[in-house]
Amino acid sequence: MESTEPEPSDSRPEEEEEEEEEEEEEEEEEDGALLPPEQPLAAVEDCLAKKMEITVSEAEKRTGRNAMNIQETYTAYLIETRAVESQIEGQCAPVESLWRRYSEFELLRNYLSVTYPHIVVPPLPEKRLSADNMDPDFVERRRIGLENFLLRVASHPVLCQDKIFYAFLMQEGGWKEMVNETGFQLKADSRLKALNATFRVKNPDKRFTELKHYSDELQSVISHLLRVRARVADRLYGVYKVHGNYGRVFSEWSAIEKEMGDGLQSAGHHMDVYAASIDDILEEEEHYADQLKEYLFYAEALRAVCRKHELMQYDLEMAAQDLTSKKQQCEELATGTVRTFSLKGMTSKLFGQETPEQREAKIKVLEEQIREGEEQLKSKNLEGRDFVKSAWADIERFKEQKNHDLKEALISYAVMQISMCKKGIQVWTNAKECFSKM
């Protein structure tokens, strides 16, 4: 992948809604929707990606001591940035750079996921748990993946404005502390809570339920496709490489032939070329596979947004339920009727009624709680609706990006295959000519 940013899709809902960058805009309260404050959207031209060149240009092995004071080897990646200013007389702004390791990227992503739960946060290249994180091919592909991640974030209308992200790119020292100081870990929802909500929520927005199914399907089909693609690539490798044996044997055979010798020898050479050509072909295909893999991981990001919605919705439902039961209690106390079974009701029957003063006090407390509850419910409702609106906006943005990217990837795959065919035709045309001269 080159270091140009992935093209942001051309028509995005946010752009039509907001042209200004800075001010918070208060819309009319037709639907009570307020975009989250402090997060105005950047227009396309002002995304960080357009203002700054970002590359992850190198990878280096390092050794150091980790948190538990144990010696370890890890890879550090060099992030280089340069402001894109109008270039006068070929002058370039200076390149700034700093080193980051994978765990810092992870920290950044976690921070973004928690801070912007309504955004489909771009995924990181995979965390490989198997033997060789030092293998140069793996490191190279990870380097490209990390660069891609940064470019995706930098072209996102919301994420690109985040200060922590900016500091990640520009400020080597003290960045970790800065992130931790935001206290984002506290805001994170526990997995257990999220799982609970998923099972118990009664009325989630149908679109999110559908989106969740879609992301499951996407993940399943892409991982199946990648597996088979890898097997196909292995087989193709075998076919090509065995032809290399022809080269050697033809050459040896040509030594004992007079008339056939030249034809055999040169045909053998073409067989060698054929066998060698598969290496480049398969390397290109790996890039294609990585493009698909990104969307495999994006599926998880989609699911995260759906989970957040389910959580908020569940929270809302619980709050409403709680309010309803408090109101009922209040009514019962006020009118003295018991509509529902309650332990209190039973005990008061058994042990005698409370005094009117006690009852009054209780009612007062409940009324206060109800008032608070109603306030909370109102704001939760608003939050929920805001979330749905802004999440859905980002999801639409994501969908367009996905369709665009995948279509391009499929076209590039076809182009790759054509190029492979062309090479094959060339080699076999040459070989045929040699054979016909035997």
Partner 1 sequence: MEAEGRLLGPPLPAGGEGPGIESHLSEGALGTARGPLLAAAEVLALDDEEDDLEVFSKDTSLAEVNSFSPSVPISPSSMINQYKFEDGPELRDLFITVDDPESHITAIETFITYRVVTKTTRGEFDSSEYEVRRRYQDFLWLKSRLEEAHPTLIIPPLPEKFIMKGMVERFSDEFIETRRKALHKFLNRIADHPTLTFNEDFKIFLTAQAWELSSHKKQGPGLLSRMGQTVRAVASSVRGAVKNRPEMFTEMHNYMETFSQKINLLDKIAHRIYKEERDYFNEMKEYGPIHTLWSASEEDIADSLKGIASCIDRCCRATEKRMAGLSEHLLPILHEYVLYSEILMGVLKRRDQIQGELDSKVDALANKKTEKDQFSEEIGRLEDKVEHANNALKADWDRWKQNMQWDMRSTFTNVAENNLRYYEESQTRLHFQILLQKMPS
228 binds partner 1 (CB under 8 A): yes
Residue 295 to residue 402: CA distance in whole angstroms:
8
Residue 256 binds partner 1 (CB under 8 A): yes
CA distances from 136 to 140, 141, 155, 279 (A): 6, 9, 29, 16
CB closer to partner 1 out of 176 and 422 = 422
CB-based contact 116:38 (threshold 8 Å): no
Stretch that binds partner 1, among 25-33, 34-42, 96-104, 213-221 (CB under 8 A): 213-221
Exactly one of 83, 93, 134, 232 binds partner 1 (CB under 8 A); that residue is 232
Stretch in the footprint of partner 1 (CB under 8 A) among 41-49, 173-181, 350-358, 426-434: 426-434
Q: Which helix (DSSP H) or strand (DSSP E) does residue 59 occupy?
A: strand 52-65
**Residue among 234 and 368 whose Cβ is closer to partner 1:** 234
Nearest approach, Cβ of residue 251 and partner 1 (Å): 10
Using CB under 8 A as the binding rule, whether residue 221 contacts partner 1 is answered as yes
By C-beta, is 245 or 325 nearer to partner 1? 245
Backbone angles phi, psi at 241, to 5 degrees: -65, -35
Looking from the CA of 285 toward its CB, the CA atoms found within 13 Å total 20
Give the integer Cα–Cα distance in Å for 91 and 36: 40
Query: Residue 121's beta-bridge partner residues?
Result: none
The count of other CB atoms within 10 Å of the CB of residue 68 is 6
Q: Pick one of 163, 202, 206, 235: the residue that binds partner 1 (CB under 8 A).
A: 235
Closest CB 113 distance from partner 1, rounded Å? 25
Side chain identity at 22, as an amino acid letter? E
The neighbour count for residue 6, using CB atoms within 10 Å, is 18
Residue number, 127 or 224, with CB nearest to partner 1: 224
Which strand (E) or helix (H) includes residue 52?
strand 52-65
Q: State both tokens at 296.
A: 């495999």
Closer CB to partner 1, 78 or 260, in the complex: 260
Residue 381: exposed, middle, or buried by beta-carbon count in 10 A (0-12, 13-18, 19+)?
Answer: middle
Min. distance of Cβ 15 from partner 1 in angstroms?
20
Query: With respect to partner 1, which residue has the nearer C-beta, 127 or 422?
Result: 422
Q: At closest approach, how far in Å is the CB of 390 from partner 1? A: 23
Print the SS3 string covering 382-436.
HHHHHHHHHHHHHHHHHHHHHHHHHHHHHHHHHHHHHHHHHHHHHHHHHHHHHHH
Shortest separation between residue 407's beta carbon and partner 1, angstroms: 5
# residues contacting partner 1 (CB under 8 A):
54
Told to check if 206 binds partner 1 by CB under 8 A, we report no
Residues 260-299 that bind partner 1 (CB under 8 A): 260, 263, 267
Q: Which of 60, 181, 234, 280 binds partner 1 (CB under 8 A)?
A: 234
CB nearer partner 1, residue 346 or residue 421: 421
Site for partner 1 in 382-421 (CB under 8 A): 403, 406-407, 410-411, 413-415, 417-418, 421
- Decide whether 134 or 221 has the Cβ nearer to partner 1: 221
Token pair of 290, please? Answer: 């990585």
Nearest residue (CB) to partner 1, 13 versus 424: 424
Q: Crossing angle for the helix pair 261-335 and 206-254, nearest 10 degrees?
A: 170
Bridge partner list, 39: none
Helix, strand or coil for residue 372? helix
Nearest residue to 278 via CA among 237, 333, 314: 237
Minimal distance in Å, beta carbon 185 to partner 1? Answer: 35
CB of 306 to partner 1, least distance (A): 16
Strands laid side by side in the 52-65 sheet: 52-65, 71-83, 96-101
Per CB under 8 A, residues contacting partner 1 are 214, 217-218, 221-222, 224-225, 228-229, 231-232, 234-239, 241-246, 248-249, 252-253, 255-256, 259-260, 263, 267, 403, 406-407, 410-411, 413-415, 417-418, 421-422, 424-425, 428-429, 431-432, 435-436, 438
